[in-house]
Every structure is written in C-alpha cells, then in structure tokens.
Structure 1
C-alpha cells in the first residue's frame, strides 16, 4: 500500500523475524553484471550495516528513499531500474539507498520490514512507509511519477532540501563489481579497528577521540585525519535541525557560530564547495574570527580527495586571505 505524506517512526524495534520465504527466486548473474541487477552509481547507493547510520544522518540534509530488496532476485530488477532511473533523473534532489535484506537482515528488522521488496522514505531521520511487496498494475508508475515528487515536497517543507552527493558513473560501478582487489579500495589498518567500530556504531565522538590517539602516534596518517574530520563533523552536526540551522545562518550572517553550523550542514550533504565558499567569504569580511574559521576549514580539507579541484581552489584562497 502506498502512503505519501504520512510520517511514522517505528523506532529501532528488533521484534519479529524477517521472512526470507519471498527471497527464494534467485538468478546466477551477480549484481551489476549483464543480465543481473542494475548497478549502483550516480544518486543510487548500496547500504551496509556499517553505513546505514550515516544514511539516517544525511537524511537531515536531503531526502532518502530506502529500497529493501535482494539483488539476486530477478523479479525485482525492473523495479530497481525504474527507481534508479527516476531518482537519477532528479540529479541529487533525492537519494536511492538500496539495502540487501538477505545480507543485512538486522536493518530490515529495525525498520520492521518482513519481506522484499519494500520502500521507505527517510526525511530528517524519520521513516515513512511507502510500499510493501511487488508493485501491481500502475503502482510503479505512480511511485516514480507521483510519490517521489511528493516526498521531495514534504522534505522541502521540513527544510530538508540539500543535494545528495554524486556516487559516480553506474557504468564504472558495473565494471568494478565483484573485483574486491580494485585499486580504489582502502584496506582497514588493524590499528584503526576500534575507531572504525565506534564510527560504524554511530559513536562519532568516541571515534574522533580514537582517531586522535592514532594521529598522536602517526601525525601523517592521512586515513585517520580524514576519518577524524568526518567523525567530528557528524558528532557536531549530524543530528542538527537543518531548517533551524539555515534560518539562523540567514538571520545572523555576522555570527561565526551560525555560519560554521550551516557549513557543517553543507558538508554533511555533500555540498563541499558551498561549505568552503561560505567560510572563505565570511573570513574575507570578519578578520576577528580568523582562527575559528581557519581551523574548521583545515578540518574540512582532510575530507575530499587531495586531487579534488574544489579543495585545491579553497586552499589557494585561504592562503591568500591569511597571508
């Protein structure tokens, strides 16, 4: 049954077992291969137990549509493709987060979903059930043409109107599926295990402290620097009310704390250049607050890839403003 505009918070109840009886229809093709499931990419991401909390957090910045499915069930491929096409066509105004129920049943249990497929919207961390079971008749077209736009309207009314980050070309994702030794993958150093565990559990303050300890041992640990910055960001602003933060930022343009808070929201939402420019513009006209802004920018600078053009431009401008 489709429900649009109605909010429901099932909490994190683990009651009830996930019914895997509907998940028996398998295919041999691996996800992403020709003849298999549509690949992730663009504004479609695959979610694990470790990344689910981050998805909940970022739903405070842009709306998220959760698709609980099994990527080896070929009955769900048309639905996955239709949802992916619809979301990607909106260019980041909403994100599609796919959850493999067979691999991560605890997420389905937490959301009180007992069978695949299911659709749940996340807006400001609040779940809204959309659909349970395979769409019938014109239901799929109704979801893509009517329900998803309605969700974006509801999100905008709640002040959740940021842009989801671009996750890369789906074609590139397809080529890399099944290649666990791809060059872009980072192996977790054993010393990082505790900090990584804390972050995966949503204890971002604890994770930041654990990464700080790692940096005391090795100040040049770039992975620890990046993850510490991300943990500090989420610990500070991951639960912020986006509408209130932006309203305060607009009303208090000369208040450094208000502008730092808005920049945090931009960073969480993947609007990296907006965050950089907001603080650099503020710095240009408020020399008294130089150190607070400089420190926040240095924290942000650890998050993007070193070759990111936005980072390089921001570094140059900061150097010009400071010296």
Structure 2
C-alpha cells in the first residue's frame, strides 16, 4: 500500500521510522485475525500506548484505524480534549480505537511524531501516520475529522472493528459530513483546493457561525498557497528581500505546514516590526489567520500574540 495522504488535514511532519522495527515483534496485546478484525487483548477502545508497545499499535492499525492522542499531565488543553476524543470513539462502537501517549513518559514517540505542542492528535491507517489536528478543538470538529478518517480508512481497506465488551452490536451509521463540507473534502482529496475553498466559503455564507468551515477554509487556503512551491527557491527569495511581504508570507506558510510553527510566527513578527506603520496591516491579518489554524490555547500562539501586542502598543 502506498503512503496515505492526510486529505483535509494539515500535512504534518511525522517520522515513525525509528519505531517501525517494533512492529515486527510478536504482537501480544494487539494483532490481526484472519478475518481482518483485530484480535488479542485490546483492553478497551481507549488504552495507553508506550515506546515499548507501539509496534503492536502499528500492527493493530492494519485492521482498524487508530487515533493517537499525545498528551501530558501538565497540559490543560489536553484535559479538555481527551474526554471529547474518548466520547466520540466510544460512540463509534469499535470502528476506531484511541491510543493515549504520555509524551513525558514516552520520549521516543514524542520525537517520532515531532510533537512540538500538545495536545496533538494523529491517526494511523495500515501503519501510516495521518496528521489530524493540534490543540483543543470543538466536539463537532472531532466528529467531522473522525468521519473523514473512516472514509479514508475504507479507501485503503482498513475496515475492521474492535469488540466492545459484551455490548450488543449496533448498526450505527458513519457520521455524515454536511454537504458543503463533504464537497470540500472530496475536492481536497482530488487536489482541487480552489473548489474546496469555494465550498467552505459557501458554507460560511449559509452559516457564519460554522467554526468547522472556518477552520477548514484556513487550512485549505494554506494548502492552496503552498501547492507547487519550491522550498529552496522560496527561502532564497525571502533571504534576498527581508521586507518583501509576499516572499516572507510564502516561507512562513511553508514553515507552518511543515510543523515549524514558531519559525513561521517569528518570521512574520520580525517582518511586522521592520515595516512602517502603514504597511503592517497585511502582516497582522496573516498572523491572526495562522493563529487560528494552530489554536488560541496553544502556548506558541499565546507567546506570539503577546509579542504582537507589544509591537502594536
């Protein structure tokens, strides 16, 4: 199977190469049954994953999609998000499982997923990582992302389920995206970001309070801006013209999409500080847009907002 594209989510930099060797070890807690459903002692739909057991989680993902929640005890937004993830996973009745990773106790996994901020949520489908989102997000957005994830898993033949204790089987249908959201997702899968932007814009015109459409629009606009951009050429252009706004915007976009969030913010804040007052507005607007993509509770956003405020006043 070829690598799985992340679809409607931001393309994150995830490197599990150092952990894949563990997947070759005999799976004691999670394996694949002959009928394609996971077998073995999966304790529940929600379980802890560690550096030592992650090979088994990779194997499990060949049968059923695995959502990985990277968290820490000190992380306030993690405590807001985790109950939402557990609730939505439970409602799906075994079609997804949730592996919780304490980044403080499992440094190899934290490094492998390049968890620069938490909470960070990633999926595994057939052993391939699919970045989902960073930061605490609303329950409805979690539902939509998981609906997309199930569709993506089905496209790659990962349709197994995990038994849910002694609970009776249900015929619960897969959560359905609103029509315009589904149109946007299909367009993203086809690489047609212009059509996806138009779909999200129509969704917002119909319902200005649709925060999921607003978040999706920001993500797709970012993907549209960096599509086909040569990273080295963009960096060279930005280095040659430190106050060229479009050139600096391009590299900031590439940094953000590649997971270098602080680099993106610092670049734009430095640009903002170097410009005359009457030229700063576009930079402030782009910063606010990127803040929205990462999440207002993210420590990097909080720090960048503080610096922006000091530059404004």
Q: What is the TM-score with the length of structure 1 in the denominator?
A: 0.46
Q: What is the TM-score with the length of structure 2 in the denominator?
A: 0.48
